[in-house]
Structure formats: structure tokens, C-alpha cells
Structure 1
Amino acid sequence: MVVDHRPQVRQVLLVTLALNLLVVIIKGSLGWWTGSLSLVADALHSTTDSASNVLGLVTSQLSSPKPDREHPYGHQKFEAIGALGIAAFLGAAFFEILKGVLERLLSDENPVTMSPVVLWLMLFVLGVNILVTYYERRVGIKLGSKILIADAHHTMSDVWITITVMLGLIGVMLGYPQLDIWLAVPVAGLVFRSGWEVLRENLPWLIDEMAIAPEAIHNLVMEVPGVINCHEIASRGLIGRQLFVEMHVVVDAQDLATAHGITEDIEAKLEDRFSPIRLTIHMEPPNYQSEKISYGEDSENGKDC
């Protein structure tokens, strides 16, 4: 049974959006007040946090797991598309930060001013970012929400960026104003890394990469009484969210009712391990054999089912 977690996801995104907007206001104000390039870059990164929350709310509304006439496999890939949007936001922030670094290096200006109040406010912001990261990741893992987990990755990068910026601001207070510029570079690197991780985790879902090793499915199916042979196993989707599995099987049955009962046992076995799952089984003649467990295997090198 497919469970719709979108109301819980939207609630989490609304809470984190409010906290992220607070962080953006504080960082932007401090960046304008101090003239710190690394602080401005940090505020820009936090702006993408808020934008990704809005994007997540939109895609969460669209990503219903329930199938309909136009989308018989559900709408959940909208959520993965939303996660890729977050990666795009991170990429834009990366280039904006590097642009600011080059502009500052090519100019003779050094407008950074500091005070202890700025560091205390940044410490408060750091605490908010850590709270948001823990909250989103915990709920995201519990619900199996890619958008929440991706957004938690994004916010975690904000935690490290804020720590880096604080080190630069301390350096400015100690008389090393150039440290503010140079520390903006690792900030850009952390932003890029976060975007790459989000991209890497969501592309396999969108391109229907294998979700479960065919051998793992094969071993489970062969434990079902009455199964003689199983082959050409394919899977896609996400474990814990929605899986689609196809396979060809040969069963020891003399009539359709018995064969149907065996396929029901197969479905129950896989549902117990990988729920929720939608399974399609193609029945083969009793004397049919195949060495190809999965697609793309050479029959010479494949294993006998």
C-alpha cells in the first residue's frame, strides 16, 4: 500500500522556510553592515535554502504517489525534479561566490568592519542551521522523502559555511582582512559539493536505474514453494517509497488457480521485504528455462535460475 506523506513533508518545509528566512535576514543585514564578502556569500547560499524550500513545497504538492489515468505509475518523480532544482540553485550560488571573490581581488577596496556583536549573531544563526538540518534529515529518513533529505544536505553545507565565515570574521578582527576573501573560496567549494551530492542521489531515480540487485530478488523468489525458474528480473524506483519490479517465472502448477496462488506468494514475499512494491509477473511454459537473471546478461555468463 502506497502511503502519502506529502502533508508531513509540507509541514516540515513550512517550518524550515520560516527559519531559513530568519537566517537570510540576519546574514544579509550583517553582510551589508560589515562589508564582509564571505558573509554576503553565506547569505546568498542561505537564500537558496529558502528558494529550495519553496520549490519543495511546489513539487511536494505535485508528487502524489497515487496513480491516475494520465500517470499510472504515480507522480513521485516530481519530487526528484525538485531536488535537482536545489542542485541548480547551489550551482548558481557557487558561481556568484566566485564572481564576488574575483571582483574583490581585482579591486583595492577593503571595506570589512567587525564587532563582537556580529560573531554572537552568527553563533545564533549557526544554532538555527544545525536545528534545521537535524529536523529535516530525521523526518526525511522517517518518511523516505528525497526532497527533505536533499534539503537537509543543502542546509548542512550551510552549517559548514557559517563556521568557515566565522573563522574569517575572527581573522578580520585580528587584523587579517584578506582572510575574509580567501575563505570565500572554500565556501564556494562546499556549495558545489552539496549540489553534486544532491545531483548524484537523484539522477538514478529519474533515469530508472536498477533499484534492487536482480540476484537479491531471485534468491527471495526461489524460496517460494512451487517456483521452478525465475529470470529477466528488472526493478526501478526507491526502496521505502515505491518500487516497480518485473520478472518472468516458471511455476509447478497444473492449473491457472494454482499458478495464481504461487504468484500471490511471490508478491507477499517481496512486499514483506521491500514494501511498497508493484509487481508484474509474466508466466512461462513449465518446460521453459533461462540463464538470464537480469537484462543485459550474456546467456553464456548468466546464472541458471
Structure 2
Amino acid sequence: MTDRPSPPILDPRRAVQRVLLITLALNLTVVGLKATVGWLTGSLSLLADALHSVTDSANNVLGLATNRLADPHPDRDHPYGHQKFEAIGALGIAAFLGIACFEILKTAVERIVGGGNSVTLGATALWIMLVVLGINVFVAFYERRVGLALNSKILVADARHTMGDIWTTIVVLAGLIGVWQGLTWLDVALAFPVALLVFKSGWTVLRENLPWLVDEMAIAPEAIHAQVMQVPGVVNCHNIASRGLLGRQVFIDMHLVVKPTDIQAAHAITEAVEERLEEAYGPARITIHVEPREYTEEEITY
């Protein structure tokens, strides 16, 4: 059996922290502008949108905390690293979105049942909302670009949330223009699609991070098998399993049958297999169990 040491892992946490601090400042600015305009105009949809934006700031704070814990380097107590802390942070984002969705719906129903305050709008409020929209667009594309470059789940998840906030702001802005033109019922009516957009963002984040936390298959065993069988000297491989995050770090286990019968030659083939898998799927931590040549197994995975 060989357990090849994992190659040096790039630690992008410092860059992620810098992005989160920048977006936190911008998101707090957005919250302040939305809340101020919503309070001055009495707009329910805008106040709901401000609540949605509060979760953006909370997500940044949560991301800063979890990012400090998500050290990719293993230690004695965490031999597989600490990267799942980042996925836990992304799940926290989903929880915040669920809370925001509930509050938006609750407030909208209360306004319908109990009646609401009149909404008073001016051109200044609409111009401020256009500025807010521009900030949201910048934050979403900036976080997504850096998140993809660093392969940071917390940044990509937060960028998706902010992208949802852009559509929310567009819907609210359209409603405010309608209210400005005399369609006062639009304010409460548009609070419901805002809630749906919030829920959709939370569900997407939840769906994408649960597989990582429950060790779902990272690479199809058939793909690994195809790579391994191209290495000279390999007779068969089976009991293939993988987990982790492709492109960040994956863990691959397998049983291998090779042609040579002496340990040194068999070890050389396992090294070649590890190099091939590292090139195809790295960074990867690969564990190979070598079995006798006479051993046969029809299934390549569990």
C-alpha cells in the first residue's frame, strides 16, 4: 500500500479575506441607503429588500470567520485539512436567506391584512436606488471573478446571493416607479416575488454545498478507472472511491492489480498511477492498495 504525500496546497485565505472586507463595506453602504430610503418613503418592498441586503453583510462577517478556520493544510487533529469549515459557512448563508424570506412574507401578509402606510416617492429616492443597483452589480461580478480564480466556495456562494440581490433590487425599483405613477398596490405585491428570489438563492447554496459535507463522489469511478488503465503494467483497479472538491483538493482510494510481482516494480507502477491522477485531478491525495495479480474483481467501485 502506498500513500503519496499531498503536494503543497495553495492557501487563498488571505485573498478571500481581502475580498470579503471590501464587499462588507460596500454591502453596509447598500443596507444604509436602502433602509434610509425605505423608512423615508414607507415602502414595504424596499424595506424587505434592505432586510435581504442585511444578510449580505452578515454573510461577509460569517465568511470572514469561517475563512480563518478553513486552513487547507492538515494537522494532527485534522489530518484531512479544515476546508469543510468553508462549506459550513456557505450553509450559514442559506440559513440567513431562509430567515430573510420568512420575514419578508410575514411583513407582506401583515400589511395586506392590517392595511399599510402610504408610500411617498420622489426622483431622489429613485436615483439613490440606481446607485444601489450599480454597487450590487460591481460586488456580484467582483466576488464571482475572484471566487472562481481562487476556487473559493464562500465567495462564489456570496456572489450568487448578491446576484439574486441585483434582481431583487431591479424588481423593487420597477415597483417604486409604478408606485410613483400611482400604482400603490405594487409595493406590497412585489414583496412576494422578492421573497421567492431570496428563497431560490438559499436553496441553490444549500444544494451545492451539502454534497461536499456528506462526502459525495467527487470524480466518477469510471473516469478514474480509464485514467489508471492507461498506465503500463496495470492489470486492473477496483474499489475506487473519491471525495473532496475537484480543483481544490480531492482524496482518491483504490485497489490496484499490477503485472510485476516484486515490491519495488509494483511500487514504481503505483507512483506512475499517482502522477497520472495528480495531473488529471490534482491537487489530490491518493491511497493505493496493491493486491496479488491473481485477484479478480468485476466491480470497479463499491
What corresponds to 1:299 in structure 2?
none
Say which SS state the counterpart of residue 31 (structure 1) adopts: helix
String of CA shifts for 1:186-218, please: whole Å, max 9, x gaps: 000000000000000000000000000000000
1:84-124 CA-to-partner distances (Å, cap 9, x unmatched) read 00000000000000011011001233321100111111001
Q: Secondary structure in 2 aligned to 1:266?
A: helix
Q: Does 1:92 align with 2:92?
A: no
1:276 pairs with one of 283, 290, 294:
283
1:114-263 map, 5 Å: 114-263=121-270
Give distance in 2, aligned partners of 1:108 and 1:87. 31
Alignment RMSD:
0.6
Q: Which residue of 2 aligns with 1:68?
A: 75
* Conserved? CA contact 2:243–2:250, under 8 Å: yes
Query: Retained in 2: the 8 A contact 1:252–1:286?
Result: yes
How far has the Cα of 1:129 moved from its partner?
0.4
Match of 2:21, as an amino acid?
Answer: L
Alpha-carbon deviations, 1:209-232, whole Å to 9, x = none?
Answer: 000000000000000011001001
CA shift for structure 1 position 243: 0.0
Equivalent pair of 2:225/2:300 in contact (CA under 8 Å)? yes
C-alpha contact (below 8 Å) 1:140/1:149 kept by paired residues: yes
Match for residue 48 of structure 1 among 49, 55, 59: 55
* TM-score relative to the length of structure 1: 0.96
Query: Would you say the 8 A contact 1:110–1:177 is kept in 2?
Result: no
The number of residue pairs the alignment matches comes to: 295
Structure 1 unaligned spans of 5+: 296-305
SS at match of 2:254: strand
Q: Partner letter of residue 289 of structure 1?
A: T
User: 2:4 is matched with which residue?
Assistant: none
Q: Take 2:141 and 2:176, find their aligned partners in 1: how far apart are those partners?
A: 26
Partner of 1:269, secondary structure, is helix
Q: CA deviation at 1:248?
A: 0.3
Write the distance in 2 (CA, Å) between the matches of 1:251 and 1:186.
60
Cα distance in 1, alignment partners of residues 268 and 254 from structure 2:
16
Q: Is the 8 A contact 2:261 2:293 kept in 1?
A: no
Q: Is the 8 A contact 2:73 2:81 kept in 1?
A: yes
Between the aligned partners of 1:184 and 1:171, the Cα distance in structure 2 is: 14
Deviations 1:22-50 (A, max 9, x none): 00000010111111000000000000000
Give 1:23-38 correspondences, 5 Å limit.
23-38=30-45
Q: 1:105 is matched with which residue: 112, 127, 131?
A: 112
Cα displacement (A) at 1:251: 0.7
Distance 2:193 2:171 in 1: 8
Moved over 6 A (4+): none
After superposition, give the CA deviation of every residue in 1:236-287 in whole Å (9 maximum; x if it has no partner): 0011111000000001113111111111110110110111000000111111
Amino acid at match of 1:277: A
Deviation at 1:289, TM superposition (A): 1.0
Residue matched to 1:303: none
Q: What CA distance in whole angstroms lies between the structure 1 residues aligned with 2:168 and 2:89?
A: 23
Where 2:294 maps in the other structure, the secondary structure is: coil
**Kept in 1: contact 2:35–2:47 (CA 8 A):** yes
